[in-house]
């Protein structure tokens, strides 16, 4: 079944993909799907908690070695830059190899990187160069792990269970990576460098064991069917698929704007909170907690919200929520108002994430899911540092409120194209089950 909002003629199987010798793996039965959902959620929670710890621990370790803001921020950059530089190539790997094995590979790299950092710390060999190399390894491993896990969902969970699976996975990512992880990381670093690195390593080792419990086959191509063409050709194939599909293209461009707003808010809010709003550390913690609480509530209520409003208006709520998040500090310095905006932004972000994943899993062929997810996350994760950089520049040239106002306007400008593209007819044309190649 083809979506009504595909530009041009009906979508045909990719030209550079030879047909598989046998049908792709069928969706898992309900019992196995429930088990796989639980395994993926626990794995995501554990690894994202560890990722969140490293995003705090490594920059804090850098502050013990240098007072240079550029050198310290460089450590944080190594953890996120792989999304810009390696995501598309990782997508090719995910569409070629067993996705569970790629998760094992990613965690092996994580464990090796943490072990090397721990040895350097215990042996007084810690340096900025070691942190940069370790951060880069962890960043690449995160790209592989998150892309592989997202691409596994259609193969691991039957269609009737994917709404719940995607909601739980999105909630686990948000709560552990952006909320609990940094908080726990600060506590662990305060207890000692070896404690923080050791606990992170234990979490990654535990995640390796969790993957053994998955049921099913997770190789995107079965039999003797193998992809042909160069890596660059296969990357271009995935990008063309995304760009030629009007609904998927709109979602990717929209999430780029929304993610840049998140990057801008997270980058500028610490200065806004302390200098303009006059918040102390405890009050700033309350503000960040509102963002995480919104994400958790969104994950818990996405099903009822979808039934009440429909998928279209549930996603539209994120446009309003993100606009409220970046607009609140423009109009007031009251903590409860800015926190309310953060809550709405966090909740809307989960509503968008869950629904956009469900739509893409039903439209994108199994053998294309790795490249599609890599490209989609390039728009989202890659836009966050760009938003952070742009908001800093705007704040320097104008002021912080003007900078936030620019991002609020950018979010509101998405409304018209969203309503014209994400129509009831376009959503009704999305297949009930994820799309497979002919």
Q: Which residues pair with 6 in a beta bridge?
A: 245
Average pLDDT of span 334-355:
92
Q: What is the pLDDT of residue 276?
A: 85
User: Between residues 129 and 384, which one has the greater pLDDT?
Assistant: 129
Helix/strand/coil percent split, the chain, to 5: 80, 0, 20
Residues 6+ apart with CB under 8 A from 243: 249
Question: Which of 28-42, 47-61, 233-247, 417-431 comes out lowest in average pLDDT?
Answer: 28-42
How many CA atoms does the CB half-sphere of 12 hold within 13 Å?
A: 6
- CA 135 to each of CA 54, 105, 202, 233, 270: distance values in angstroms, whole numbers, following the listed order: 8, 17, 18, 29, 23
Residue 10 carries which DSSP code? Answer: P
Domain ranges in the chain are 22-220, 230-431
Residue 303 pLDDT exceeds 80? yes
Each residue of 224-244: pLDDT tens digit?
Answer: 455 556 777 888 888 888 888
CB contact at 8 A, 131 and 62: yes
Structural contact between residues 94 and 374, judged by C-beta atoms closer than 8 angstroms = yes
Q: Give the tens place of pLDDT for each residue, 370-396.
A: 888 888 878 887 788 788 788 888 888
Q: How confident is the model at residue 178 (pLDDT cuts 50, 70, 90)?
A: low
What is the band of 434 on the pLDDT scale with cuts at 50, 70, 90?
very low
What percentage of the chain exceeds 90 in pLDDT?
Answer: 31
CA distance 427 to 421: 10
Dist CA 311 CA 426 (whole Å): 11
Mean pLDDT for all residues in the chain? 82
Supply angle C-alpha 227, 230, 235, rounded to 5.
Answer: 85
Tokens 């800015």 found at: 338
Domain at 230-431: CATH code: 1.20.1250.20
| pLDDT tops 80 at residue 337 | yes
Tell me whether the CATH fold assigned to 22-220 matches the one assigned to 230-431.
Answer: yes
What DSSP letter does each residue of 363-422 carry, written as one string? HS-GGGHHHHHHHHHHHHHTHHHHHHHHHHHHHHHS-HHHHHHHHHHHHHTTHHHHHHHS
Q: In angstroms, what CA-CA distances link 299 with 292, 295, 324, 390?
A: 11, 6, 19, 30
pLDDT score of 399: 87
Phi, psi of 245 (to 5 degrees): -95, 115
- The Cα 173–Cα 50 span in angstroms is 11
Q: Which of 431, 311, 358 is nearest to 154 (CA)?
A: 358
Neighbours of 266 (CB within 10 A): 16
Nearest by Cα to 150 from 203, 191, 97, 94 = 94
Token code pair at residue 37: 């959902």
CATH class of 22-220: mainly alpha
């Amino acid at each position: 079944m083809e979506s009504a909002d595909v530009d041009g003629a009906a979508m045909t199987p990719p030209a550079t993909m030879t047909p598989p010798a046998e049908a792709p793996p069928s969706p898992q039965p309900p019992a196995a799907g429930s088990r796989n959902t639980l395994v993926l959620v626990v794995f995501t929670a554990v690894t994202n908690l560890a990722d969140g710890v490293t995003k705090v621990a490594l920059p804090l370790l850098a502050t013990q070695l240098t007072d240079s803001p550029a050198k310290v921020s460089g450590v944080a950059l190594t953890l996120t830059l792989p999304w810009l530089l390696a995501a598309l190539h990782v997508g090719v790997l995910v569409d070629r190899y067993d996705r569970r094995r790629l998760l094992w590979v990613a965690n092996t790299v994580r464990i090796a990187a943490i072990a090397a950092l721990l040895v350097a710390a215990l042996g007084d060999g810690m340096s900025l160069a070691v942190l940069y190399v370790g951060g880069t390894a962890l960043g690449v491993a995160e790209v592989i792990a998150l892309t592989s896990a997202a691409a596994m969902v259609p193969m691991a969970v039957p269609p009737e269970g994917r709404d719940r699976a995607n909601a739980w996975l999105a909630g686990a990512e948000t709560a552990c990576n952006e909320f609990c992880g940094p908080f726990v990381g600060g506590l662990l670093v305060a207890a000692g460098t070896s404690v923080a690195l050791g606990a992170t390593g234990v979490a990654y080792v535990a995640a390796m064991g969790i993957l053994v419990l998955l049921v099913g086959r997770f190789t995107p191509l079965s039999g003797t069917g193998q992809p042909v063409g160069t890596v660059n050709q296969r990357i271009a194939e995935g990008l063309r698929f995304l760009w030629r599909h009007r609904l998927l293209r709109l979602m990717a461009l929209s999430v780029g704007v929304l993610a840049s707003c998140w990057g801008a808010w997270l980058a500028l809010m610490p200065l806004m909170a302390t200098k303009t709003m006059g918040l102390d550390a405890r009050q700033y913690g309350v503000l960040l907690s509102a963002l995480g609480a919104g994400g958790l509530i969104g994950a818990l209520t996405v099903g009822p919200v979808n039934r009440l409003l429909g998928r279209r208006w549930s996603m539209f709520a994120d446009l309003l929520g993100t606009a409220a998040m970046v607009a609140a500090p423009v109009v007031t310095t009251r903590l409860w108002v800015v926190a309310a905006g953060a809550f709405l932004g966090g909740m809307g972000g989960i509503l968008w994430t869950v629904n956009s994943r469900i739509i893409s899993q039903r439209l994108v062929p199994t053998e294309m899911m790795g490249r599609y997810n890599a490209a989609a996350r390039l728009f989202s994760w890659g836009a966050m540092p760009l938003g952070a950089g742009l908001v800093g520049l705007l704040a320097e040239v104008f002021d912080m409120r003007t900078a936030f106002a620019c991002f609020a306007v950018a979010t509101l400008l998405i409304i018209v194209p969203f309503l014209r593209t994400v129509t009831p007819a376009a959503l009704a044309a999305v297949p009930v089950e994820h799309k497979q190649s002919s």
